[in-house]
Amino acid sequence: MIGVFDSGFGGLTVLAALRRHLPQYDYLFLADSARAPYGARSFDVIHEFTLEAVEWLFNEGCTLVVLACNTASARALRTIQQRHLPARRPDRRVLGVVRPSVEALAGLPPGAIPGVTQPSLTEGTVAVVGTEGTIASDSFGIELRKLAPRLELLQQACPLWVPLVEAGETEGPGADWFLHRYLDPLLAAPRPPRRLLLGCTHYPLLLPGIRRIVPAAVEVLTQGEIVATRLADWLARHPDHEARLTRGGARRIVTTDDPAWFAGASSRFLGEKLEVGRARLSPVA
Ligand code: DGL
């Protein structure tokens, strides 16, 4: 089974893309809604919460976990991969969204080797928008400097976008004001971006408004398709892990908060009423 983790319901856009591209596998989606948003939390707290989520998904039978949450990928993934998995779960894998997104931003094929595979975009400016935690971590910058060192990266934290989406305020003059507030400085930069990555699971829900503000010449990337196509490639390159995934096309969705609230909030943008269960996470000793 593939576990998919997000702090909230935005990650359902990643789950939907995964199921479109890789429908044969079973999925378990966990949203830590009770403790979302993660965006402005400290490194230690995001790491602790993410590890609890990952361990919960492992205990439910997931052999592979995708951190759909950018904030968790940026703040917690490396420590989990480098410390927790080798010591406690050597047979499991946890993947994040930062590396595949940066590959797409630079126009690199999946699994590109730094310094060897040439990006299709070698010069110019690209941009990423994300939560405060994601942008403060400079995770996108660190990866981009490895993969495409001559590309300039503009980064913009948009702390008020997640609350807007959570409140269902994705359209109208109020939403547009907050979109302009963070997009205008990027677009007014001396070298404006050619590509803009929405580096947060909630932001695709603001895409129509973003698209109206950002000039048509700027390509706007969302992560669902990027993560799904690059996971398909990763599985092809890791047949031992692929072989361990269960195949039944099943989907289970759980939240740490009220399942009825979660089902209502997510049906607003998925247009589908979900069956949602409850998860209780425990501290990882
Ligand atoms: N899911 C988070 C992300 O992708 C955004 C929401 C939050 O701040 O928890 O960064």
**Looking at the domain assignment, is residue 9 inside a domain?**
yes
Same domain, 77 and 15: yes
**Is residue 35 in contact with ligand 1, taking CB distance under 6 Å?**
no
Ligand 1 centroid to residue 153 C-alpha, Å:
20
User: What is the pLDDT, as a whole number, of residue 202?
Assistant: 93
Tokens of 206: 């603001």
Ligand 1 centroid to residue 132 C-alpha, Å:
10
To test the ligand 1 pocket, which listed residue (13, 135, 139, 202) has its Cβ within 8 A of the most ligand atoms? 202
Same domain, 273 and 254: yes
3-state secondary structure string across the chain: CEEEEECCHHHHHHHHHHHHHCCCCCEEEEECHHHCCCCCCCHHHHHHHHHHHHHHHHHCCCCEEEECCHHHHHHCHHHHHHHHHHHHCCCCEEECCHHHHHHHHHCCCCCCCCCCCCCCCCCEEEEEEECHHHHHHCHHHHHHHHHCCCEEEEEEECCCHHHHHHCCCCCCHHHHHHHHHHHHHHHCCCCCCCEEEECCCCHHHHHHHHHHHCCCCCEEECHHHHHHHHHHHHHHHCHHHHHCCCCCCCEEEEECCCHHHHHHHHHHHHCCCCCEEECCCCCCC
**Looking at the domain assignment, is residue 89 inside a domain?**
yes
Ligand 1 centroid to residue 123 C-alpha, Å:
29
**Is residue 33 in contact with ligand 1, taking CB distance under 6 Å?**
no
User: What is the pLDDT, as a whole number, of residue 267?
Assistant: 85
Same domain, 125 and 211: yes
Tell me how far apart the alpha carbons of residues 53 and 48 are, in angstroms, rounded to a whole number: 9
Active site residue 62: no
User: What is the pLDDT, as a whole number, of residue 283?
Assistant: 94
**Is residue 13 in contact with ligand 1, taking CB distance under 6 Å?**
no
Q: Exactly one of 12, 53, 69, 97 is catalytic; name it.
A: 69
**Looking at the domain assignment, is residue 230 inside a domain?**
yes
Domain end call among 178, 204, 223: 223
* β-bridge mates for residue 276, sequence order: 253
Same domain, 77 and 181: no
Nearest CA to ligand 1 atom 1: 69
**Is residue 53 in contact with ligand 1, taking CB distance under 6 Å?**
no
Ligand 1 centroid to residue 67 C-alpha, Å:
11
Same domain, 117 and 201: yes
**Is residue 259 in contact with ligand 1, taking CB distance under 6 Å?**
no
Domain count, the chain: 2
Same domain, 205 and 234: no
Q: Could you give the angle at the alpha carbon of 215 between the alpha carbons of 203 and 162, nearest 5°?
A: 15
**Is residue 224 in contact with ligand 1, taking CB distance under 6 Å?**
no
Same domain, 213 and 106: yes
Tell me how far apart the alpha carbons of residues 234 and 83 are, in angstroms, rounded to a whole number: 21
The residues, ordered by sequence, that sit 6+ positions from 186 with a Cβ below 8 Å of its Cβ are: 127, 129, 154, 156, 192, 193, 196
Same domain, 215 and 103: yes
Active site residue 158: no
Same domain, 133 and 64: no
Whether the CB-CB separation of 66 and 3 falls below 8 Å is answered with yes
**Looking at the domain assignment, is residue 283 inside a domain?**
no
Same domain, 113 and 143: yes
**What is the full per-residue pLDDT of the chain (285 aa) written as tens digits?**
999 999 998 999 999 999 999 999 999 999 999 999 998 899 999 999 999 999 999 999 999 999 999 999 999 999 999 999 999 999 999 999 999 999 999 998 887 777 777 777 778 999 999 999 999 999 999 999 999 999 999 999 999 999 999 888 999 999 999 999 999 999 999 999 999 999 999 999 999 999 999 999 999 999 999 999 999 999 999 999 999 999 999 999 999 999 999 999 888 767 788 999 999 999 998
Whether the CB-CB separation of 208 and 171 falls below 8 Å is answered with yes
User: What is the pLDDT, as a whole number, of residue 109?
Assistant: 82
Same domain, 77 and 124: no
Q: Could you tell me the CATH number of the domain that includes residue 28?
A: 3.40.50.1860
Predicted TM-score (pTM) of the model is 0.94
**Looking at the domain assignment, is residue 158 inside a domain?**
yes
The boundaries of the domain holding residue 174 are 99-223
**Looking at the domain assignment, is residue 132 inside a domain?**
yes
**Looking at the domain assignment, is residue 45 inside a domain?**
yes
Same domain, 128 and 55: no
**Looking at the domain assignment, is residue 42 inside a domain?**
yes
Tell me how far apart the alpha carbons of residues 108 and 119 are, in angstroms, rounded to a whole number: 5
To test the ligand 1 pocket, which listed residue (5, 6, 45) has its Cβ within 8 A of the most ligand atoms? 6
